[in-house]
């Protein structure tokens, strides 16, 4: 991709060297060979490139575009409280008191809704500062801030620049436009050419993390940046690149995730808010409704409704929870469902989203930098409650079930499916039980980091070797714990019961890889009548043992084959001579584990049967 030649005025002479370097490097990218080379960089192994090329063969070419971001804002109600909150958020920034993480995008967006010069003036000042800071860093031999964390924030940053450049073009002079364009072009080029990325004539290669993984949150940021920049600049080459190489993998990938959700889990899966916003912009710009090319967006509405616990304030903690280890609903989850609802053409899915949006603990965005997303309509407050008591997301291998839709209902989450993402955990076979509060749940939620991925922190069988293992999966050398491996796939079948409960049969041995000492592990769950029965059958190599473990919010009181922790009663049915012991996680690392206990049930040689129910005495 080539940036236009530019010549800054004398007043910009101090920026000349770095800006020229940006422009020259951007110009070094031939439009078509640049896009093709991006594929070569992104798919060094070749297989993914072949897949993308095959997918693009059936794509209809896009017509030439004119510069401009055709964002449809017809949905905005300018008389609503949400609009008033958004306007006050931007006006505060105009008055010199910007809130945390205020973006030029918001100022440019409000200008489109209420074209007052002050909004463009603010947006232009903010983007100019970012570009000038980048130029200074480049001139000093450093990479600009936008390249940090493997270009993670390139999407919202280039979107803000592009929205401002397009919305406020009448107030941006030619020299400024060319400088901004050179910066944006080089940034996007670097994203897709990670092995040859450079700034200011200096090579700045980076990892290329997830440039070819449509299931990863980074990918959405990269495509977002490219789409906004292509539209703002009227760049047919970048649009063709997206249409032929980057949109097809998105379509194919999510068509393969029936039931909705993300293989990254419920923490990083919140990044689907960006994915769905990307779908909206692609639709507005090209007329193609890729959101409804599969059921994923609609299914994801159902996914999040069922993944939310009955008290409507928390959700299933699957995978990394790095923003907040305690899985509390936040603005990002609200935005995700608002975006999915806006895309849906299915009345029942829209109503389901409305029911959830009108009742969760986040009735509106809690942070100012998210207020723009509340402009999307939440729908009818009288939408009917769901009727289905469970949801199986077959693509992710996540299952959610409950005894009812009242706040006192008992709720279950279970994982058995693909394990192939870096933010996923070794929790194949893991379950969570909730009734008014957590009864048993991953210890990860009480950790400081929120990224405790090992089997020892989840409600699974823990397999241990009598002697250290030299090497297995991603385990450190000489570890005794048998790790779950990626990429692997466990399976489950779900059978509804006549009483509203269900039975789950999961085959989990594959999660440990073909060379592990775990030869067989099946787990059966019987859920109903406000109780859960877990039955494990396993076969192990000699020198390996299995421990049934439960992560608990409070210290268990052990009495023979029974333990009580808070409002959870645990009874070991088999083996008859099981040994029950408790461990305080704070004794392992008090800085990382802030609370929580683990109940270890040992002694089974091929079977465990454990029953869990609410303890009526608490």
- The secondary structure of 50-115 as a DSSP string is HHHHHHHTTPPPPPP--S------TT--TTSHHHHHHHHHHHHHHTT-PPTT--HHHHHHHHHHS-
pLDDT value, residue 114? 98
Q: Return mean pLDDT, the chain.
A: 91
DSSP string, 314-330: BB---S---S-SS-B--
Is 114:380 a contact under the CB 8 Å cutoff?
A: no
Q: What is the DSSP letter of 242?
A: I
Mean pLDDT of the region 277-283: 98
CA–CA dist 95, 107 (Å, integer): 12
pLDDT at residue 20 is higher than 80: no
E strand or H helix that includes residue 297:
helix 296-307
Percent of the chain whose predicted confidence (pLDDT) is above 90: 87
pLDDT value, residue 14? 35
CA–CA dist 572, 562 (Å, integer): 6
pLDDT value, residue 471? 74
Scored b (16 or more CB within 10 A) or e, 65-84 reads: beeebebeeeebeeeeebbe
CA–CA dist 570, 440 (Å, integer): 10
Closest CA relative to residue 165, chosen from 565, 157, 264, 51: 157
- Classified as helix, coil or strand, 341 is helix
Position 47 confidence tier, pLDDT thresholds 50, 70, 90: very low
Is 507:588 a contact under the CB 8 Å cutoff?
A: no
pLDDT value, residue 56? 44
pLDDT value, residue 618? 66
- Tokens read off for 545: 């043992």
Q: Between β-strands 531-540 and 518-528, what pairing exists: parallel, antiparallel or unpaired?
A: antiparallel
The residue with tokens 């200008």 is 111
CA–CA dist 76, 143 (Å, integer): 39
CA–CA dist 287, 265 (Å, integer): 31
pLDDT value, residue 128? 98
Position 41 confidence tier, pLDDT thresholds 50, 70, 90: low
Closest CA relative to residue 5, chosen from 139, 170, 177: 177
Angle subtended at Cα 185 by Cα 180 and Cα 186, rounded to the nearest 5 degrees? 100
CA–CA dist 254, 294 (Å, integer): 7
CA–CA dist 116, 395 (Å, integer): 47
Range of weakest confidence among 96-105, 216-225, 454-463, 494-503: 494-503
Mean pLDDT of the region 45-62: 54
User: Please, how many CA atoms are within 13 Å of residue 457, restricted to the half-sphere of its CB?
Assistant: 26
Is 543:532 a contact under the CB 8 Å cutoff?
A: no
pLDDT at residue 22 is higher than 60: no
Mean pLDDT of the region 143-161: 98
Instruction: Render pLDDT for 349-396 as a digit per residue (tens, 0 to 9).
Output: 999 999 999 999 999 999 999 999 999 999 999 999 999 999 999 999
Closest CA relative to residue 82, chosen from 313, 338, 297: 338
pLDDT value, residue 259? 98
The better pLDDT of the pair 31, 85 is held by 85
Instruction: Render pLDDT for 363-374 as a digit per residue (tens, 0 to 9).
Output: 999 999 999 999
- Tokens read off for 550: 């439960």
| Helix/strand number for the chain, H first, E second | 17, 22
Q: What is the DSSP letter of 447?
A: B
The better pLDDT of the pair 82, 20 is held by 82
- Tokens read off for 136: 């200074």
Q: What is the DSSP letter of 188?
A: H
Query: Can you name the residues that pair with 520 across neighbouring β-strands?
Result: 539
E strand or H helix that includes residue 392:
strand 390-393
Position 180 confidence tier, pLDDT thresholds 50, 70, 90: very high
Q: Please report the domains of the chain, with CATH numbers, ordered by start residue.
A: 10-40+71-255 (no CATH), 390-614 (2.70.98.70)
Instruction: Render pLDDT for 460-505 as a digit per residue (tens, 0 to 9).
Output: 999 999 988 877 887 787 789 999 999 999 999 999 998 889 999 9
Is 161:130 a contact under the CB 8 Å cutoff?
A: yes
- Classified as helix, coil or strand, 418 is strand
CA distances from 569 to 329, 354, 528, 597, 611 (A): 28, 36, 15, 15, 8
Closest CA relative to residue 308, chosen from 341, 272, 261, 351: 261
For helices 117-139 and 174-192, give the axis angle rounded to 10 degrees: 60
CA–CA dist 545, 536 (Å, integer): 13
């Amino acid at each position: 991709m080539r940036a236009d030649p530019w010549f800054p005025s004398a007043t910009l002479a101090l920026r000349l060297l770095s800006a020229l370097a940006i422009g020259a490097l951007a110009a070094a990218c031939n439009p078509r060979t640049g896009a093709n080379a991006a594929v070569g960089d992104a798919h060094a192994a070749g297989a993914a490139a072949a897949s993308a090329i095959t997918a693009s063969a059936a794509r209809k070419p896009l017509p030439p575009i004119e510069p401009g971001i055709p964002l449809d804002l017809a949905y905005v109600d300018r008389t609503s409280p949400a609009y008033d909150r958004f306007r006050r958020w931007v006006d505060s920034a105009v008055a010199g008191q910007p809130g945390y993480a205020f973006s030029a995008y918001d100022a440019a967006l409000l200008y489109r809704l209420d074209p007052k010069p002050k909004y463009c003036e603010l947006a232009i000042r903010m983007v100019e500062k970012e570009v000038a800071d980048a130029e200074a860093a480049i001139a000093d031999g450093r990479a600009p801030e936008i390249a940090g964390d493997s270009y993670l924030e390139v999407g919202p940053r280039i979107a803000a620049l592009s929205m401002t450049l397009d919305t406020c073009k009448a107030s941006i002079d030619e020299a400024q436009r060319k400088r901004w364009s050179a910066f944006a072009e080089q940034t996007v080029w670097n994203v897709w050419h990670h092995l040859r990325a450079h700034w200011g004539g200096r090579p700045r290669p980076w990892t290329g993390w997830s440039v070819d993984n449509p299931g990863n949150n980074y990918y959405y940021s990269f495509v977002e940046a490219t789409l906004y920049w292509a539209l703002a600049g009227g760049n047919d080459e970048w649009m063709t690149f997206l249409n032929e190489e980057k949109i097809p993998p998105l379509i194919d990938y999510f068509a393969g995730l029936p039931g909705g959700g993300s293989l990254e889990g419920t923490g990083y899966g919140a990044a689907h808010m960006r994915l769905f916003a990307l779908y909206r912009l692609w639709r507005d710009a090209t007329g193609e409704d890729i959101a409804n090319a599969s059921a994923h967006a609609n299914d994801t509405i159902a996914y999040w409704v069922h993944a939310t616990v009955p008290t409507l304030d928390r959700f299933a903690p699957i995978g990394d929870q790095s923003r907040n280890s305690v899985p509390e609903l936040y603005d990002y989850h609200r935005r995700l469902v608002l975006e999915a609802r806006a895309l849906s053409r299915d009345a029942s899915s829209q109503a389901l989203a409305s029911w959830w949006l009108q009742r969760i603990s986040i009735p509106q965005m809690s942070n100012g930098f998210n207020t723009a997303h509340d402009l999307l309509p939440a729908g009818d407050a009288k939408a009917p409650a769901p009727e289905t008591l469970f949801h199986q997301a077959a693509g992710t291998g996540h299952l959610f079930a409950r005894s009812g839709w009242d706040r006192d209902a008992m709720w279950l989450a279970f994982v058995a499916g693909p394990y192939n993402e870096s933010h996923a955990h070794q929790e194949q076979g893991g379950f969570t039980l909730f009734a008014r509060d957590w009864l048993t749940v991953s210890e990860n939620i009480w950790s400081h980091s929120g990224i405790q991925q090992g089997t020892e922190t989840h409600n699974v069988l823990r397999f241990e070797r009598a002697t250290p293992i030299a090497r297995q999966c991603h385990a450190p050398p000489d570890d005794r714990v048998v790790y779950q491996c990626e990429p692997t796939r466990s399976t489950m079948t779900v059978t509804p019961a006549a009483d509203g409960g269900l039975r789950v049969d999961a085959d989990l041995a594959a999660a440990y890889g073909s060379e592990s000492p775990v030869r067989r592990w099946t787990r059966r769950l019987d859920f109903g009548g406000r109780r859960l029965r877990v039955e494990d059958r396993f076969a192990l190599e000699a020198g390996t043992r299995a421990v049934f473990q439960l992560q608990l919010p409070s210290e268990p009181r052990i009495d023979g084959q029974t333990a009580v922790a808070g409002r959870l009663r645990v009874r070991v049915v088999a083996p008859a001579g099981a040994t029950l012991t408790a461990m305080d996680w704070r004794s392992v690392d008090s800085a990382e584990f802030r609370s929580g206990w683990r109940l270890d049930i040992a002694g089974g040689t091929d079977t465990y049967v454990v029953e869990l129910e609410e303890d009526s005495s608490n």
